[in-house]
Chain A
Amino acid sequence: MADIAVTENIAVTSRARALKRFQASDSIFRWLTGGASFLIMAIFLGILLTLIGGSWLALGKFGWQFLTNSSWNAVTENFGAFPAIYGTLVTSIIAMVLAVPIGIGIAIFLTEICPRSLKRPIGIAIELLAGIPSIIYGIWGLFVFAPYFQTHAQPWIIDLFGNVPIMKDLFAGPPYGFGMFTAGLILAIMVLPFIASVTRDVFETAPAMLKEAAYGTGCTTWEVMWRIVLPFTQAGVVGGCMLALGRALGETMAVTFVIGNSHRIDPSLFAPATTISATIANEFAEAPDDMYKSALIACGLVLMGLTFTVLAAAQLMLRGFERRAGGKA
C-alpha cells in the first residue's frame, strides 16, 4: 500500500506513481476476471457447437418430432427423446422435493440446534456424502437399497395407496425395486450435501444482529429462521439449490444402475424408465453407426435446452423475490 513519504515533493511524485501503479494493476485484474468470464462463455459455446454439430444428422432426420417421439429403436433408426426427457424431469423433481426440505432442515439443525461440540463432526459427516463417488451410489443402490426397497418398502406402499384414486396409479405396478422413484431417492441423497453445506455457509453469514433483534421481539427459533434468515439469504439458498438441481439433471452413474433403463413412459413412479444421461452413458460406447451416435448427442443437446428452460424459470423466480424484497428489479 502507498506509504506516507517524509517530504512533500517525494510524497507527491511517489503518490502519483503509486496511483499509476494501482491503475495498471486494477485494469490488469479487471481484464483477468473478464478474461476468465470470456473463457467460460467460450467453453460453453464450444460445447454447444460440438453438440449441434454432432446432432445435426439426427435432428435433420427427425426435426422437432425428436422431442415428442416415444420410440427408441436402433434397428429401424427411429429415435425419440420423449421417454428420456420425461424420466430426467421426474427423477430430478423427486430428488429436489426430497432434498431441498431435508437439506435446509440439516442447515437449520447445524446452525441453530446442534450443540457446539457436535457441530463440526456432523457438518463434516454431511459433507462426506458429497465426497462419495457417484458410482458407489449406483452400486449401493443396485445391490443394497433396491433389493431392500423391493422386498420391504414397495409392497407396503403399493398396498397403502391401493384404492386412493390418483395415488394408486402413481405408485402402481410390480415391485421391481428400481425405477424412477428409487433413482430420484438416490439422487436426493446425492445432492443433499450440496444444498446442506451451501445453505449452512449462507446461514452463517446472516448478521447476528438481525437474528438477535428478531429474538428480542420474542420470535421463536423457527420464526427467526423462516421469516428472517431464509428471506435474507434466499438468493444464496436458491444458488445452492441450483447447484443441486444441476447435479440431479446431469447425473449419470448413480441413476444408470437403478433406473431400470426402459424407453417407455409409465404413470407409475415405480416403473422402470430412463434419463438422458443414463441413455447416453449406457449406449454411446457401443453405438456402432453415425445416426445412433448422432441421436444420442441430440439427447445431450436436449438436456442443455432443458437445463436452459429450468434455469430461466428459476431466474424469473429470483427476480420475483428481489422485487418483493424491495431490491432492484
Chain B
Amino acid sequence: MKPIARLIAAAAVAGFAITSASAADLTGAGATFPYPIYAKWAEAYKAKTGIGLNYQAIGSGGGIAQIKAKTVDFGASDKPLSPGELAAAGLTQFPTVIGGVVPVLNVPGIKAGELVLDGATLAQISLGNVKYWDDGSIKKLNPGVNLPHLSIVGVHRSDGSGTNFIFTNYLSKKSPEWASKVGAATSVEWPSGVGAKGNEGIAGVVAQTSGALGYVEYAYAKQKQLAYVRMINHDGVAVSPTAEAFQAASAKTDWAHSASFYVVLTDQVGHDAWPIAGATFILVYKQPGDAAKTKEVLKFFDWAYANGDGLAKSLDYVPLPDSTIAAIKKSWRDNISAAAIP
C-alpha cells in the first residue's frame, strides 16, 4: 500500500496546481431565478472575451450577505433593496431581466388559459376564505366555465424565494386583508394550503392533487406547459402569460424616476401587461475597493444588454426595454465611482 500512497500523494500535489479558471474570473452570487440566463451569458461572454464568470445561486439573501462581506464581485437579488438599505451598505442596484409568476391549476375539465382570476379573488383564495372552485366570486369571473364543487388546495413555496416575494407583493397590492394579515416577503406565514419546495415541488404537488392551485415561475410554466390561469390586470383586461405580456408590464414603468430602481413590477399600468411580474437585480458597490473588477462586472452586463436579448428569450426570460437600459447606464454614471465605469 505504501508506494501506492506515495504515488497518489505526488499526483495530488501536482494536481493542485492545475486550474483553468483564470485570475480574471468574476464571481457573483445570489438569486436562483436568473441563474440559467447568467450562466448562458457567461458562456457566450467567455467565448468572446476569455473572461469567465462564476455565478452561484445561493439565494437572494445569500447574495446580499456575500456582497456585503466582499467575498464576491457582485450580488444578485430578486427583491430590490430599499434606498435606505442601499445607502447604509454603500451599494447601488440595477435590474437585468424580467420574469414573473404564473398561477397554475389542476381541476378536472379546465384547460390551460380557460380560467380567469383577478388579484382580489386570488388573495381570498390564498387567505383560505374561498374554499371551493364553484365559489360565487370565481363563477362571476368565469360565466361560461363549468366549475366543479371541489376543494381548493392552495400550494405555495415553502422555501424562501423571489417568486414568493413577487406573488405576495401582488396580493398585498390587491388585497388590504392580505397586506395586513400576511404581507409581502420572500418567505411569509401562509394562512392555508400546502408547502412545496421549489418550482418542481409545486408543479409536482399540483399535478398529483385534484383541485390544486399553485404558482410557478413563468419560464417553468412555459417549458412544462402547465395549465395556467389568465389574470385580470390593472387595466381590467384578462391577459395570458406571454413574453409580450411580461414586457408590457415594464414598458410604462417610470424607471428613471424611481430611486435606485426600487420598483416591483406587479399590477403595472398597461393594456397588455401581465400583473404578476418582477425584475431581478444586481448589487455592486458605489465606491468599490477593486475598481477594476467592478469595471469588468459592468462591462459584462453592458455586453449582455447589447447582445444577450436573443439568449434571454431562448430561455424564456424577458429582456428589459431600451428605455430602461438607458436609465441603467445613466445610474451607473451617477452613482458609481468613475474608475469603475466601462
Q: Do chains A and B touch in the complex (CB under 8 A)?
A: yes
Contact between B60 and A142, CB atoms less than 8 A apart: no
Are A262 and B187 interface neighbours, CB within 8 A? Answer: no
- Cβ of B188 and Cβ of A256 under 8 Å apart? no
Picked from B58, B159, B194, B204, the residue with its CB within 8 Å of the CB of A260 is: B194
Q: Is A293 an interface residue (CB 8 A)?
A: yes
Q: Are B159 and A72 in contact (CB under 8 A)?
A: no
Stretch from B37-45, B136-144, B195-203 forming part of the interface with A: B195-203
B25-51: which residues lie under 8 A (CB-CB) from chain A? none
**A263:B189 contact, CB within 8 angstroms:** yes
Q: Tell me if B158 and A262 are in contact (CB < 8 A).
A: yes
- Of A76, A261, A274, which is in contact with the most chain B CB atoms at under 10 Å from its CB? A261
By the criterion CB–CB under 8 Å, are B185 and A285 in contact?
A: no
Docked complex Cα distance between A142 and B160 (Å) = 19
> Does chain B have a CB within 8 A of A3?
no
Residue B174 at the chain A interface, CB threshold 8 Å: no
Q: Does B314 contact A (CB under 8 A)?
A: no
Instruction: Indicate if A240 sits at the interface (CB-CB under 8 A).
Output: no
Residues in chain B near residue A111, CB distance under 8 A: none
Q: Is B250 an interface residue (CB 8 A)?
A: no
Instruction: List which A16-74 residues lie within 8 A (CB) of chain B.
Output: 71-74
Question: Does B308 interact with chain A (Cβ within 8 Å)?
Answer: no
Provide 28 A-B residue pairs closer than 8 Å at the C-beta atoms, listed in order of the A residue.
A73-B189, A74-B160, A74-B185, A75-B185, A76-B183, A143-B204, A150-B208, A151-B208, A176-B209, A257-B197, A257-B201, A262-B158, A262-B190, A262-B194, A282-B158, A282-B159, A282-B160, A284-B61, A284-B62, A285-B59, A285-B62, A286-B160, A286-B162, A286-B187, A288-B77, A288-B79, A288-B186, A293-B61
| A75→B160 contact, CB < 8 A | no
Q: Bound complex: CA of A262 vs CA of B184, how far in Å? A: 18
Q: List A residues 184-235 near B (Cβ within 8 Å).
A: none
A284-B61, A288-B79 given; A75·B182 CB < 8 A: yes
Question: Interface centre among B65, B184, B200, B208, by most A CB within 10 Å?
Answer: B208
Interface assignment of A283: CB less than 8 Å from any CB of chain B? yes
Contact of A272 among B77, B183, B189, B195 (CB under 8 A): B195
Given contacts A71-B189, A75-B183, A263-B189, contact A288 B195 (CB under 8 A): no
CB-CB nearest in chain B for A256: B197
Contact A177–B159 (Cβ < 8 Å): no
* Nearest CB in chain A: distance from B102 CB, A: 20
Say whether A261 contacts B61, CB under 8 Å. Answer: no
- A176-B205, A256-B159 known, 13 other contacts, Cβ within 8 Å: A72-B189, A75-B182, A75-B183, A75-B188, A75-B189, A142-B204, A143-B204, A260-B196, A262-B195, A285-B59, A285-B62, A286-B159, A287-B186
Q: How far in angstroms is the closest Cβ of chain A from B163? A: 10
Q: How long is the Cα–Cα vector from A75 to B208 in the complex, in angstroms? A: 31
List the B side residues contacting A293 at CB < 8 Å: 61, 65
Closest to B158 in A: A261
Chain A hits for B62, CB < 8 A: 284-286
Q: Closest 10 A-B residue pairs measured CB to CB?
A: A285-B59, A286-B160, A261-B158, A75-B183, A261-B195, A282-B159, A73-B189, A286-B59, A287-B61, A286-B186
Number of interface residues of B (CB under 8 A): 34
Cβ contacts under 8 Å, B209 to chain A: 176
In the assembled complex, the Cα of A45 lies from the Cα of B209 at a distance in Å of 46
Q: Which of A74, A146, A285, A287 lies at the interface centre, i.e. has the most chain B CB atoms within 10 A of its CB?
A: A285
Question: In the complex, what residues of A have CB within 8 A of residue B200's CB?
Answer: 142
The contact string, 1 if C-beta is below 8 Å from chain B, for chain A 270-287, is 001010000001111111
User: Distance (Å) between the CB of B211 and the closest chain A CB?
Assistant: 10
Quote the shortest CB–CB distance from A107 to chain B (angstroms): 30
How does the 8 Å CB contact mask read for B61-82 relative to A, with 1 for contact and 0 for none? 1101100000000000101000
- Contact bitstring B169-196, A, C-beta under 8 A = 1, else 0: 0000000000000111111111000111
Kindly provide the distance from the CB of B91 to the nearest chain A CB, expressed in whole angstroms.
Answer: 13
The residues of A that contact B201 with a CB separation of less than 8 Å are 142, 257
Question: Within 8 Å CB of B195, what residues of A?
Answer: 260-262, 272
Residue-wise interface mask of A (144-169) relative to B, using a CB-CB cutoff of 8 A (1 in contact, 0 not): 00110011000000000000000000
Whether B240 sits at the interface, judged by CB under 8 Å, is no
Interface assignment of B161: CB less than 8 Å from any CB of chain A? yes
B64:A288 contact, CB within 8 angstroms: yes
Q: Determine the chain A residues whose CB is within 8 A of the CB of B205 once the complex forms.
A: 176
The listed residue (B59, B189, B196) touching A74 by CB distance below 8 A is: B189
Partner of A283, one of B58, B153, B187: B187
Task: Report the separation of the CA atoms of residues A230 and B293 in the bound assembly, to the nearest whole angstrom.
Answer: 64
| Pair B187/A287 contact, Cβ less than 8 Å | yes
Residues 245 to 304 of chain A near chain B (Cβ within 8 Å): 256-257, 260-263, 272, 274, 281-288, 292-293
Most buried by B among A146, A262, A287, A288: A288
Beta-carbon contacts of B284-305 to A below 8 Å, as 1s and 0s?
Answer: 0000000000000000000000
Bound Cα distance from A142 to B199, whole angstroms: 13
Bound complex: CA A288 to CA B89 (Å): 14
A283 to B61 CA separation, bound complex (whole angstroms): 9
- Which residues of A have CB within 8 Å of B60? 285-286, 288
Option from B77, B184, B197, B208 in Cβ contact (under 8 Å) with A282: B197
Inter-chain CA distance A174–B209, complex, in Å, is 10
Name the distance in Å between B336's Cβ and chain A's nearest Cβ: 23
Cα A263 to Cα B158 with chains together (Å) = 10
A30 to chain B, nearest CB (A): 25
Docked complex Cα distance between A185 and B196 (Å):
18
